[in-house]
Amino acid sequence: MRLLRAKQGRKTLQFFRINFGIAPPYQVLLDGNFIHVATSHKIDIHARLRKHLGGDKFSLVVASAVIEELQRLGEPVAAALDFARKHCQVVSCGESEDCTVAIQELIGGSNGKKYLVATQDEELREHLRGVPGVPLFHIQRTVLLFESPSARSRSVGKADEYKKLGFSTSEKETVELLEEMKMKERAEKRRRDGAATRVVKKAKGPNPLSCLKKKS
């Protein structure tokens, strides 16, 4: 499972590099919840991210609203605040005190700053999946997960690829139709192969020994 995640992570990183120009040195934007979960479980954020990013250089970034939120929450998140102050670059996010809104504003509609985002907020992640070109991390139990590109990112990435290749609209639609047909053919083949290999149990006849007449 670990090797599979690593392979998928490399593909995801390559996808964002090719299609959206997200390249080293990376900027990883963290929210307060992510830092709190990591520090609570003694997760080495630098080491985990370094593995996912192939050993390339990166820096950690937090919105000023995150620092303010951690300060308000006090002692329960003291370790997270200490980490943010010592290890993260603080970027101004305007007047918003809401961390979610602050991060959304920093990402905008196209992630112009090329941030990678690490957040435990599912609603925020769902919002960012709708913005093309936003790599996402979150912690599940004690494992740092690197999400596959969202449907929105894949759609925009494919459109840019067609544009680079000089495809017209009709050619693009033809290619997409052929890809859809191939997917359906593969699915049908898997269904047929599965049916062919399925073992059909034959109805058992009566036990021959039970047919013998009992001795009188």
- H or E element in which residue 62 lies: strand 58-63
Based on its alpha-carbon atoms, the radius of gyration of the chain, rounded to whole angstroms, reads 26
* Stronger pLDDT, 2 or 55, i.e. the higher one: 55
How do residues 133-143 score in pLDDT, each as one tens digit? 999 999 999 99
Closest by CA to 22, choosing from 191, 135, 109, is: 135
How do residues 162-199 score in pLDDT, each as one tens digit? 455 454 555 555 555 655 666 677 777 777 776 665 55
Question: Exposed/middle/buried for 5, CB within 10 Å: 0-12, 13-18, 19+?
Answer: middle
- Between helix 45-52 and helix 2-20 the angle, nearest 10°, is 70
116 alpha carbon, distance to own chain's centre:
11
What's the pTM value of the predicted model, to 2 decimals? 0.73
What does the pLDDT average to over 115-133?
97
- H or E element in which residue 26 lies: strand 26-30
